[in-house]
Amino acid sequence: MRRPSPRLLLACVLFILLALAPILTIFVGNDYPLIVLTRVLILAMAAVSLDLILGYGGMVSLGHAAFLGLGAYAVGIMTTEGVTSGLVQWPLAILLTALVALVIGALSLRTRGVYFILVTLAFAQMIYFVSVGLDAYGGEDGLVVPTRSRFSVLDLSDRTSFYFLCLVLLFAAIAFVAHLARTRFGLVLRGAAMNERRMRALGFPVYRYRLAAFVIAGALCGLAGILLANHSEFVSPSIMNWGRSADLIIMVVLGGIGSAVGPLLGAMVFMLAEETLSHLTTYWQLIFGPLILIFVRFARSGLIGLFPERSGDG
């Protein structure tokens, strides 16, 4: 029997704390903490999906929020058109994001380094401007989503049930990414990030594995987008402006790249900072930005670095 790793313990503790959080609403007397926390969970899920390609795969995508937007818009548009069943909406929305990720990935993964960053940014901007141009669906002003996705077994309009759904899906995503990293597929992804030249010499066609990871990450982020549309009951282009993509990168780096659970920590700290600092000044990012730089300068492995890994590659 191996002792559980500090990171697994951390994940369990976070899960328990977050599962107990709804009790807060009883003390506070309103739903505000729950609403904020639900948002944290959803953005954490987007960050976890980004970690798969950024942290494990070494692909610095500056367009990841596009998938958040695609998932959200797919739900918003389908609801507007009268398709409200979650069993129809969700698979279609995920399929759409996966397909778009396939196209963007297939083209952008032919480039490297700074070019990859710029190409992913360019594609995301294209999708952003398409959403701005969707006059039938609110254009720049966005679109109210009149009802949440309908499931026979679960009422998503109940805030507490929705919170728990997000919590379970987030931790399923974390477990999925952490598992994936240890499989053959994950080793290829991480190996290609560490030493691509050696991977080719060993006989790996790295492009197709990277592309697969890009699609999985896109689809997972699409799921976060689906949740976001249901949570806000509103979608707008600002979901996927490039600043949001940058925020996701910050969450991943702050929490600890390539750690699956780190991005949740990163998202929590990021949103906490946003909540508190933005009350002090509208230029809160001017304070937060340098703080992050200093933090990452001294703790390169992010917050997760406080919870050391077991030796070995598990």
Partner 1 sequence: MADLPLLSVKRLLKRFGGLIATDHVDIDVGAGETHALIGPNGAGKTTFIAQIQGELSPDAGAIIFSGRDIAREAAWRRAQQGLARSFQITSVFLQFTALTNVILAVQAQAGHSFRIRRAAVDEPALVEPAQAALAAIGLGDRAHVRAVALSHGEQRQLELAMALAMRPKLLLLDEPMAGMGRQDTARMTEILRKLKTQYSMLLVEHDMSAVEALADRVSVLVAGRVVATGSFAQIRADAHVRAAYLGEKHR
- Of the pair 66, 206, the CB lying nearest partner 1 is at 206
Which of 13, 12, 18 is CA-nearest to residue 164?
A: 18
Least Cβ distance, residue 68 to partner 1 (angstroms): 24
Residues 182, 178: Cα–Cα separation, whole Å:
7
Give the side-chain half-sphere CA count within 13 A for 34: 22
Give the side-chain half-sphere CA count within 13 A for 163: 20
Residues that bind partner 1 (CB under 8 A): 179-180, 182-188, 190-191, 194-195, 197-206, 209, 212, 311-314
- Of the pair 290, 314, the CB lying nearest partner 1 is at 314
Whether the CB-CB separation of 124 and 241 falls below 8 Å is answered with no
Least Cβ distance, residue 233 to partner 1 (angstroms): 35
- Of the pair 93, 188, the CB lying nearest partner 1 is at 188
- Of the pair 82, 312, the CB lying nearest partner 1 is at 312
Least Cβ distance, residue 228 to partner 1 (angstroms): 27
- Of the pair 21, 180, the CB lying nearest partner 1 is at 180
Give the side-chain half-sphere CA count within 13 A for 132: 9
Least Cβ distance, residue 105 to partner 1 (angstroms): 15
Least Cβ distance, residue 296 to partner 1 (angstroms): 18
Residues 2, 225: Cα–Cα separation, whole Å:
37
Nearest-5° Cα angle at 179, 296 to 215: 80
